[in-house]
Amino acid sequence: MSALIYARRQRLGTRRGRRSLTCFQQAVLVIRWFLDNTRVRQLAADNAISVPNVYRCLHEGIDELAGLKPSLNSALLAAKIAGHPHVNIDGTLIYTDRCSALGPTAGVDLWWSGKHHHHGGNIQVISSPDGWPLWTSDVRPGREHDTTCARAHPQILPDRAEWTGEGLHALADLGYEGEAAIFTVPIKKTPGVALTDEQKQLNWLQAHARARAEQANALLKMTFKVLRHVSLDPSQIGKIVGAALVLLHVEHDRTT
């Protein structure tokens, strides 16, 4: 983190002594915020700087880390080289403060999730078979369903179609049934028609393999408390989660 901040200051031509915090102090501030979700006012008091200066330091750190996040194509290629027979996709809602932004439906906020009954942003997470997060998407408003979020992202469907076209599987839940040609989803029970024993067994096996997708989401949120409730601009949630993913990869020295 310190090296990234130092490189940023060098690029901008920042002269020595012109910033209130050293590169190391700013790095500690950023990591404290990610790990413990330390309040901005507390960070300002601990470092004897103003609240706006803390926000500036945070956004600089987030931008630098998020810039290192791998592309989806790179993540899938690395998963293929690592020999993963499949990857999982699952959406997770990152809670945020209440924000009044009009959605396409009258009387419903853009960032309000009817499923979770909370404001937040939807993030799509690609994970390995053992539940390790490989890639995270940009944020979409919490009111959108997982299929809508996947379709809105320019990379997810084309890159996943290429992945499945090579005989590899992309496991997903019934939230992605609209893209069953790309994602391997459970067999849905139709009214009046019972599933066969073979279909039930297939669903059980897939649910067992797909459960690790929830582990990937939990790993990110349990490691970084800030992902449990983001108080910054909701449109920045994608960058924040991407930055957290980079920190997780560096901490465990693992990308696949």
Q: Can you give the pTM of this predicted structure? A: 0.92
Listed residues 66, 91, 108: the one ending a domain: 66
- Same domain for 112 and 197, yes or no, is yes
Listed residues 48, 66, 84: the one ending a domain: 66
Q: SS3 string of 226-252? A: HHHCECCCHHHHHHHHHHHHHHHHHHH
Q: Where are the beta strands (DSSP E) in 56-161?
A: 86-95, 112-113, 118-127, 133-136, 140-141
- Same domain for 132 and 244, yes or no, is yes
**How do residues 108-135 score in pLDDT, each as one tens digit?**
788 888 888 999 999 999 999 999 999 9
- Same domain for 137 and 183, yes or no, is yes
Nearest to 232 by CA among 61, 59, 21: 59
- Same domain for 147 and 246, yes or no, is yes
Nearest to 172 by CA among 149, 191, 195: 149
Other C-beta atoms closer than 10 Å to the C-beta of 38 total 17
- Same domain for 95 and 62, yes or no, is no
Structural domain including 151 reads 72-252
**How do residues 128-170 score in pLDDT, each as one tens digit?**
999 999 999 999 999 888 999 999 988 888 888 888 877 888 8
What domain count does the chain have?
Answer: 2
- Nearest-angstrom CA–CA distance, 49 and 85: 50
- pLDDT of amino acid 41: 96
- Nearest-angstrom CA–CA distance, 240 and 59: 9
Nearest to 4 by CA among 24, 21, 19, 29: 24
Spatial contact of 146 and 176, defined as CB atoms under 8 Å apart: yes
- pLDDT of amino acid 15: 87
Which amino acid, residue 162?
Answer: E
Which mean pLDDT values do the consecutive 10-residue runs of the chain (256 residues) have? 94 88 96 96 96 96 96 93 93 87 74 89 95 95 90 88 83 87 86 85 86 92 96 93 97 93
Helix (H, G, I), strand (E, B) or coil at 141: strand
- pLDDT of amino acid 108: 75
User: At which residue do the structure tokens 């791998």 appear?
Assistant: 70
- pLDDT of amino acid 34: 97
Tokens of 252: 């465990």
- pLDDT of amino acid 202: 86
- Same domain for 84 and 62, yes or no, is no
Q: Are strands 169-171 and 86-95 parallel, antiparallel or unpaired?
A: parallel
Q: Which DSSP state fits 129? A: T
Which amino acid, residue 211?
Answer: A
- Same domain for 12 and 114, yes or no, is no
Residue 71, beta-bridge partner list: none
Listed residues 43, 66, 89: the one ending a domain: 66
